[in-house]
Amino acid sequence: MQPEITKTENKKIILSGIQASGDLTIGHYAGAIRNWVELQQDYDCYFMVADMHAITSRQIPADLRRRSLDVVAMYAACGINTEKSALFIQSHVTEHAQLAWILNCFTGFGEAQRMTQFKDKSQQHSDNINVGLFSYPVLMAADILLYQADLVPVGDDQKQHIELTRNLAERFNHLYSPTFTVPEPFIAKEGARIMSLQEPWKKMSKSDPNANSCIFLHDEDALIMNKIKRAVTDSGTDIVFDIENRPGVSNLVTLYHVATGKSIKDIEAEFAGLGYEPFKEAVGKAMVELISPIRNTFNDLRSHPDEISALLKSGAQKASKQAFKTLRKVYKKIGFVEPIR
Ligand code: TYM
């Protein structure tokens, strides 16, 4: 079904985002941001900082404010072109909450209950299982559907949420008439699930209490080298990509691929017979080469708050225009009386 929205320049649309609940890691870069940078050439892009999603777990207000701005600066430092792509903070565009409410009324209780991330997070935060956490994927669906996104580039842990978004879009289109584009996930073949450096059978997570498990995009060079050196590898000495049997070394191969763009096959050939030490040295250096310019640009941008404010203002303006258009259409279809202005 074709949506009724006319897209600018006939370009397809992308929306994606990251929660402002912690500092960004190489996992966020590998699974999401590097693909955004690549895809922004060919798509009309909306990249947001999900501050509303972040409050589903308790946040210290000053930290949330600082982190939201950190994420904005990190997007730009990683290569998001803020003149081309709209970069904005979710709560700055009020339509997200408005559409989320409506979509809540089209989501089955059982459907939301089946979300594995809800189950995981309820276990992690058993002292605060709030309704926001439960309807978190519905807000995510609103984020995506407001912009008529064709493609949503994410890491593989978000697949189920995109599936729910697709179901909601199809349900609404079917009940009324074509309104929303039904989005496709974009999950890269490599890097969609970067694992912990200390427990490589677990996803790398910013909230891991073991600081060595995770590389942050603001880590200093020596720290990055050190974390890679201490990364847990498997028994055996050869450098092979075999996630099931050699998760530790496979994770490092993936990180090397993300940093250098070399294929997995070429990486295996490059280090054949060399053992862990020179391999880890090379991975560490490649990580430093990737992260060090990002960190420097990030620090520079963070010391220019006016630049951040300006890009957020224009990003929110561009986003609001599209979001308002979709929401007005939805209001009409469900029978809300048009407001008298
Ligand atoms: P979040 O904030 O947990 O993660 C943001 C993005 O980074 C990816 N990611 C990873 N990829 C590979 N390996 C890892 N270790 C890793 N850790 C994180 C995630 O898959 C994701 O793509 N609900 C979303 C944020 C969101 C959103 C949206 C995303 C809100 N609205 C609309 C897309 C579209 C979340 O919590 O992601």
pLDDT digits (tens, 9 = 90+) for 154-200: 999 999 999 999 999 999 999 999 999 999 999 999 999 999 999 99
Q: In the chain, list all ranges with CATH 3.40.50.620.
A: 13-191+305-334
The atom number, within ligand 1, closest to the CA of 155 reads 20
CA of 19 to the centre of ligand 1 (A): 7
Q: What average pLDDT score do residues 264-288 get? A: 96
Whether the per-residue pLDDT at 280 is higher than 60: the answer is: yes
The pair phi, psi for residue 14, each rounded to 5°, is -120, 140
pLDDT of 341 reads 78
Rounded to the nearest integer, the mean pLDDT of the chain is: 95
For residues 88 and 82, what is the distance between their CA atoms, to the nearest angstrom? 10
Map residue 205 onto helix, strand or coil. Answer: coil
For residues 136 and 114, what is the distance between their CA atoms, to the nearest angstrom? 13
Query: Using a 6 Å cutoff on CB, does residue 35 contact ligand 1?
Result: no
Whether the per-residue pLDDT at 128 is higher than 70: the answer is: yes
Helix (H) or strand (E) holding 248: helix 247-260
Catalytic residue status for 203? yes
Least confident of 110-114, 235-239, 308-312: 235-239
pLDDT of 236 reads 83
pLDDT of 137 reads 98
Query: Using a 6 Å cutoff on CB, does residue 19 contact ligand 1?
Result: yes
Q: What average pLDDT score do residues 2-31 get? A: 82
Instruction: Give the CA distances from residue 290 to residues 93, 115, 171, 233, 259, in Å, rounded to whole numbers and listed in that order.
Output: 33, 34, 43, 22, 6
Whether the per-residue pLDDT at 7 is higher than 60: the answer is: no
Tokens of 325: 């258009």
Domain 211-300 classification at class level: mainly alpha
Q: What average pLDDT score do residues 89-111 get? A: 98
Where are the extended beta strands (E) located within the chain?
A: 13-19, 44-50, 86-89, 151-153, 184-186
Whether the per-residue pLDDT at 102 is higher than 90: the answer is: yes
Sorting pLDDT into bands at 50, 70 and 90, what band is 8?
low
Sorting pLDDT into bands at 50, 70 and 90, what band is 202?
very high
CA of 29 to the centre of ligand 1 (A): 10
C-alpha neighbours within 13 Å on the C-beta side of residue 68? 22
For residues 76 and 302, what is the distance between their CA atoms, to the nearest angstrom? 11
Contacts with 174 (C-beta within 8 Å, 6 or more apart), sequence order: none
Higher-scoring residue by pLDDT: 6, 84:
84
Q: In the chain, list all ranges with CATH 1.10.240.10.
A: 211-300
Whether the per-residue pLDDT at 235 is higher than 90: the answer is: no
CA of 18 to the centre of ligand 1 (A): 5
Residue of 150, 158, 166, 257 best suited for mutating to test ligand 1, as the one with most atoms within 8 Å of CB: 158
Catalytic residue among 7, 206, 285, 325: 206
Higher-scoring residue by pLDDT: 59, 237:
59
CA of 192 to the centre of ligand 1 (A): 10
| Tens of pLDDT, residues 21-80 | 999 999 999 999 999 999 999 999 999 999 999 999 999 999 999 999 999 999 999 999
Q: Helices 247-260 and 276-302: crossing angle, nearest 10°?
A: 50
Domain 13-191+305-334 classification at class level: alpha beta
DSSP 29: I
Q: What average pLDDT score do residues 109-115 get? A: 95
Sorting pLDDT into bands at 50, 70 and 90, what band is 5?
very low
pLDDT of 13 reads 98
pLDDT of 214 reads 97
Tokens of 80: 């998001």
Higher-scoring residue by pLDDT: 9, 142:
142
Helix (H) or strand (E) holding 75: helix 61-78
For residues 113 and 131, what is the distance between their CA atoms, to the nearest angstrom? 11
